[in-house]
A and B are shown apart, each in its own frame.
Chain A
Amino acid sequence: MKDNEVYESWRQEKCQIDVSQNFTDHVMNQVYQLEQSRKSSRFTIERVIELISFHPLVKMGLVAVGAVTGIVRLIIMINTILSNGVING
């Protein structure tokens, strides 16, 4: 047997490999698990947004917080202007 024939049949032998029948299923299971965990983390953020957008009490609460913040800022601003006016005047 010539060297190159030996080498070629060895190479052919090294190229042959058996893969477990359920290898693809194992990989896909892991992929689906990953997708599931991605979806559940996305779900939490989406849930918060949904709660804010659609729940009337939460909506009212947010509007109230916004309104109070606005009034406080307005009072602070008026106060600042008036105190500057008093100092300058």
Chain B
Amino acid sequence: MIEETGIIKAVLEGDTESFRLLVQRYQKPVIRMIANLINDRHICEDIAQEVFLSAYKKLHSFDPSRSNFSTWLFTIAKNKSINTMKKRQIPSVSTPPEKPDFSEPDDSLIKDELFVKLDQALMSLSSKHKRALILAEFENLSYEQIAQIEGIRIGTVKSRINRAKNRLRSALECIDGDI
């Protein structure tokens, strides 16, 4: 695997094609993060394209001594997602999907219903709590990286994640009683 600093140096020295390696390496996590944040699969690739183009334009300002490339890229993705949500008036707390109608629940249906409950709980979180959970649980970023992306202290990151997890836990507990 070629080192990121080497790729970035090559791009900055005029080897535009090397940027393809960065796109290929980070396209999946960036699209996944945006998709989970804005909950709209149709526009998340458009936003991700803007993220990579913006990263290319600002690459000269990336400082490896301040953060690693993924943290820097996720910060751009976060800002683009927030701007898109504001522009397109996507609510930070979106409407949860309809609960499926289960007449005779079996194991897979119960699992589906639990997943819907978790989706509903995730979508009912405020955007800052949702972002902290998504970055920690789906992108496996460290508390330190999330703190850098959000511009907050590590303690605040921990408390946001705990709060979000508690909401998800209580959603599961709620359905346990029904099943």
Interface residues in chain A, defined as those with a beta carbon under 8 Å from any beta carbon in chain B: 1, 3, 6-7, 9-11, 13-15, 17, 19-20, 23-24, 26-28, 30-32, 34-35
Query: Of A10, A15, A24, A31, which contacts B56 at CB under 8 A?
Result: A31
Residue of A with least CB distance to B118: A10
Known contacts A17-B28, A34-B53, A35-B16; is-contact A1 B111 (Cβ 8 Å): yes
Q: Which residues of A contact B92 (CB under 8 A)?
A: none
Query: Of A10, A11, A27, A35, which contacts B52 at CB under 8 A?
Result: A27
Q: Which residues of B contact A15 (CB under 8 A)?
A: 32, 138
**Chain A nearest Cβ from B158, distance in angstroms:** 18
Query: Of A7, A27, A32, which contacts B49 at CB under 8 A?
Result: A27
Q: Kindly state whether residue B35 has any CB partner on chain A within 8 Å.
A: yes
Chain B: residues with Cβ within 8 Å of the partner, total of 32
Q: Kindly state whether residue B40 has any CB partner on chain A within 8 Å.
A: no
A24/B53 in contact, CB under 8 A: no
Q: Which residues of A contact B19 (CB under 8 A)?
A: 28, 31
Q: Which of A20, A28, A34 has the most CB of B within 10 A?
A: A28
A36-B31 Cα distance, complex, nearest whole Å: 26
Pairs across A and B, CB under 8 Å, 12 listed = A1-B110, A1-B111, A3-B176, A6-B114, A7-B172, A14-B138, A17-B31, A19-B27, A26-B49, A31-B53, A34-B53, A34-B57
A3-B24 Cα distance, complex, nearest whole Å: 35
Known contacts A3-B169, A10-B114, A24-B23; is-contact A19 B52 (Cβ 8 Å): no
Q: Which residues of A contact B94 (CB under 8 A)?
A: none
Q: Which residues of A contact B56 (CB under 8 A)?
A: 31, 34
